[in-house]
């Protein structure tokens, strides 16, 4: 299954540092209809409608984004697609 996400400038501005449930990537996953947990190694997404849990290894580009964000470095909005597997 694939989840398309769009991390916006608002996500970057209003999200919490070091919080896998409210970081910019997690905010984008929430808008896609899932309850997220985004970490440096794994991203989990629970479907709000069915309760099914999906996961994927965090892509390298997203890990780099998270690390830059968590260290107060400049990051830019982006779009991507997460390839998720059912847990």
What is the pTM (predicted TM-score) of this model? Answer: 0.94
Q: In angstroms, rounded to a whole number, what is the distance separating the alpha carbons of residues 77 and 16?
A: 16
Predicted pLDDT at 9: 97
- pLDDT tens track for 3-21: 999 999 999 999 988 899 9
Q: In angstroms, rounded to a whole number, what is the distance separating the alpha carbons of residues 14 and 50?
A: 28
Q: What percent of the chain has pLDDT over 90?
A: 94
- pLDDT tens track for 64-78: 999 999 999 999 999
Predicted pLDDT at 87: 82
What is the crossing angle of helices 24-31 and 60-70, to 10°? 120
């Amino acid at each position: 299954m694939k989840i398309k996400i769009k991390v916006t400038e608002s996500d970057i501005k209003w999200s919490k540092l070091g919080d896998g449930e409210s970081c910019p990537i997690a905010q984008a996953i929430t808008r896609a209809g899932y309850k997220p947990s985004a970490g440096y190694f794994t991203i989990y997404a629970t479907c709000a409608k069915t309760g099914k849990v999906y996961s994927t290894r965090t892509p390298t580009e997203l890990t780099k984004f998270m690390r830059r964000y968590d260290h107060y470095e400049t990051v830019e909005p982006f779009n991507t697609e997460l390839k998720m597997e059912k847990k």
